[in-house]
Structure 1
């Protein structure tokens, strides 16, 4: 969220691709995910007016005052757009501070491009594993980490950095960006008393949540109609290890469509009590660089586009998807790069520029699970490299160089490497124990067994 996602949204967001699987996640109603927040704010009049201004101020990261936000909503301002009439919005699904393992990482990365005069909307999903240059740096990383780099050291430039990176990839001028985290998603589901999803077959996630005993450890849903609370909906849209990141993004889309239907069917947006709960949810868990006045202008301009024609494109590791998995990117792990060459986005630019006229990408439903999957468990070695820095009168030496560890998850590598030079300096004589938590465990992978203690490497410090 992504949340969603993985939104990517693989998924995204940011998403792992398996084989030649091709999934295009977005159906005609996707656009409601974004507009529902704006609509809720605008209709929340009367006793909620001040709260709306306060929430908008929070959403802007404090860049607008409460009073300024209220004036903006009341007046409405012209929205930004290209010469051809397109307005491009970046949607990011974030993990949030309550989710361990990278609270500032973007799991869903999706560009929404709107062309009002032709009543068309384009959706471009970017996988979180795309290997890109970090804006303003000579370094590179997976795109899902760009937001975190921008937020570090109090810079608060996560959104702007992501806009730059996505703009370079797509060739589009990104006018606005909005983030929502997993907690905000969960609160929104609970604010409307849950959502319904209907499954052709049971759904299983028996690997991802076992270690932390989240979602009941092994998360399952039966075939047929399921009513999901905020918590179970979050588990459903986060699950990916027994399916894929692309499949996760599709499920996120299904839940968001159900949320939209729930909002409309319950008359939620005219129920001030429910609107208050929604405002409370989004205030702390949604961020945008769209000024309040332009939110109002955006709503006035685009609220009539819910029946617009939708054009989808998902960047993936197929010829049609324009990406590939390279043999090696300097130890970066599983990444994706353009088929045209590293950092060569020319083909992607061409697709995005002409997305309303080029042949559409195929659409595939989420995978049906006809049997309960087995947990993916295997044993791989840990390779120790580098030297531990010690005080001047001491020297450090690892007593062993390779250990084995049992892991569970989708990690495709043949070993896990630990670099001693990146550990804190050893100050005293004795032994330094490198523990499980010191390892750089790949995302989506868990250590399920190890030596009798949590120590994986012992380093002797001596004169």
Structure 2
């Protein structure tokens, strides 16, 4: 006998049936109770019912899955409110980043302007920082050239004897239109008349004059020294000098280090290069260990260089510009101070090329370091409105258009050594205080014309009828280095005619 199914409160559980997932999910309600068949409906077998409902259930299953996935996708999409919130958040983050960048730029720019302002106040006596936003043409002489006297002292080193002596002197002449430059050095031992009483009396070496003018520490004293010195030296060499720059020799070291070193092309008459053993004390510096001494003096000498290009840091460049071979064994520096002056020009050329290169001008650290070097070691009467003009000229003038003059070259010896009061001096080859040949040479080179370059002899004839016109023109030509052999009137033209003129004949 089969056991009866358990019932509860009159309900009998239905016989378990196998149903599909589609059938379960498709039913909206489930009724528990006694099963009653609908007597009015046709009877269909259970198997037939399942066969009819199976395709419909599968379709509904697919539809339900698709709807569920669509609902999931819909739920993952942000609402319009969320989108607006995210956009506002992104804008806020962007503004914060831009604000931070702006603050950093403002700090850097402010610091650079402060450095610039400090440099301007230290270096320039004329104009302020606002002058940098202007561009003013440089002052010129009667021939259209701008001339700068560069004076180097060691007054940055209080322990150095004779710190106010201008041991380095150079004149730079620039043509702003032709974009060319000429430079020459002035021997520090050139014997001159001071025109006033100095330590050596009324005559002595030219390097004494600068400190003799005024030994005060004020800006006014410095301005007086520069103004009178450029006039004094200009008169000796027959030049109208507009500008003067006073530098401490340490500026070479600091400026070269600021630009990351320079490449100097050593040029010596000796095939071995140069050697100055007087600087070997640098090899024995107490602060160096054995390895550092070997690196500083690989040959056993500090200042021993072969001819050709050498990479130099600030220390090396500074001492190279001072080398003059005072003790044996020395080579490549036979002309002592004259060779030192040439080497100073080489260092200046190398520094100019490096300072005006793109790599330096776009390097913030190098620019500020260069400003520091200038601020501590340079004083000048150049106006700040002229700085941009100078910077442009520095980048526009090619190295091939910078000409270096010498007064002691073979077949052109214009200066020589001598003695005065028992001391060794430099004097014009023509004689003590006779600067005519030197002036003529400078004018024939710096103010050269096609005619003066030919070294022609000239005759000037006056056909203008203006008394003295021919002589006036002849004097100008003589200043340019030409040899005037005759000055007179055009034959038969002693009186003023309708077409006044001057005739210049050369051969």
Query: Into which bin does the TM-score normalised by the smaller protein fall?
Result: 0.5 to 0.7
Q: Distance in 2 between matches of 1:80 and 1:230?
A: 32
- From the two aligned structures, give the one with the greater helix fraction: 2
Note the C-alpha offset of 1:302.
6.6
Note the C-alpha offset of 1:278.
0.8
1:118 to 149, 155, 178: 178
Q: Which runs of 5+ in 2 are unaligned?
A: 1-107, 286-295, 455-507
Contact 1:203 1:221 in 2 (8 A): yes
Q: Distance in 2 between matches of 1:81 and 1:105?
A: 28
Q: Distance in 2 between matches of 1:303 and 1:183?
A: 24
Contact 2:253 2:318 in 1 (8 A): yes
Match of 2:366 in 1: 274
Note the C-alpha offset of 1:311.
3.9
| Superposed counterparts of 1:382-401, under 5 Å | none
Q: Distance in 2 between matches of 1:323 and 1:250?
A: 15
Q: Distance in 1 between matches of 2:259 and 2:169?
A: 25
Note the C-alpha offset of 1:73.
1.4
- Please tell me whether residue 230 in structure 1 is matched to residue 310 in structure 2: no
Match of 2:277 in 1: 206
Contact 2:152 2:246 in 1 (8 A): yes
Higher RCO (CA-CA < 8 Å; seq separation 6+):
1
Match of 1:141 in 2: 204
- Please tell me whether residue 337 in structure 1 is matched to residue 430 in structure 2: no
Q: Which runs of 5+ in 1 are unaligned?
A: 1-43, 361-463
Deviations 1:172-225 (A, max 9, x none): 111001122221211112222323446674643212554996798942446476
Q: Distance in 2 between matches of 1:265 and 1:73?
A: 20
2:120 to 56, 66, 70: 56
Note the C-alpha offset of 1:133.
1.7
Note the C-alpha offset of 1:119.
3.5
Q: Distance in 1 between matches of 2:273 and 2:439?
A: 40
Cα pair distance change 1:211/1:268, threshold 3 Å: closer
The total of aligned residue pairs comes to: 311
> Which consecutive aligned stretches of 4+ in structure 1 deviate over 6 angstroms post-superposition?
211-217
1:131 to 188, 191, 207: 191
Deviations 1:8-54 (A, max 9, x none): xxxxxxxxxxxxxxxxxxxxxxxxxxxxxxxxxxxx97642232122
Cα pair distance change 1:110/1:289, threshold 3 Å: same
| Superposed counterparts of 1:444-459, under 5 Å | none
1:219 to 281, 295, 302: 302
Q: Distance in 1 between matches of 2:170 and 2:128?
A: 26
Q: Partner of 1:290: helix, strand, or coil?
A: strand
Larger mean CA deviation between 242-251 and 105-114 belongs to 242-251
Cα pair distance change 1:271/1:310, threshold 3 Å: closer
Cα pair distance change 1:209/1:144, threshold 3 Å: farther
Contact 2:264 2:350 in 1 (8 A): yes
Match of 1:74 in 2: 133
Note the C-alpha offset of 1:130.
0.7
Contact 1:202 1:220 in 2 (8 A): no
Note the C-alpha offset of 1:81.
0.7
Deviations 1:337-378 (A, max 9, x none): 223333232222222223224569xxxxxxxxxxxxxxxxxx
Root mean square deviation, CA, Å = 3.4
Q: Distance in 2 between matches of 1:258 and 1:301?
A: 16
Deviations 1:68-124 (A, max 9, x none): 421221223342112321111112233342262322222322211222333432223
Contact 2:352 2:394 in 1 (8 A): no
TM-score (norm 2): 0.54
Contact 2:179 2:393 in 1 (8 A): no
Match of 1:390 in 2: none
State the structure with more CA Rg. Answer: 2
Match of 1:174 in 2: 241
TM-score (norm 1): 0.59
| Superposed counterparts of 1:247-262, under 5 Å | 247-262=339-354
Q: Distance in 1 between matches of 2:416 and 2:353?
A: 37
Larger mean CA deviation between 248-257 and 168-177 belongs to 248-257
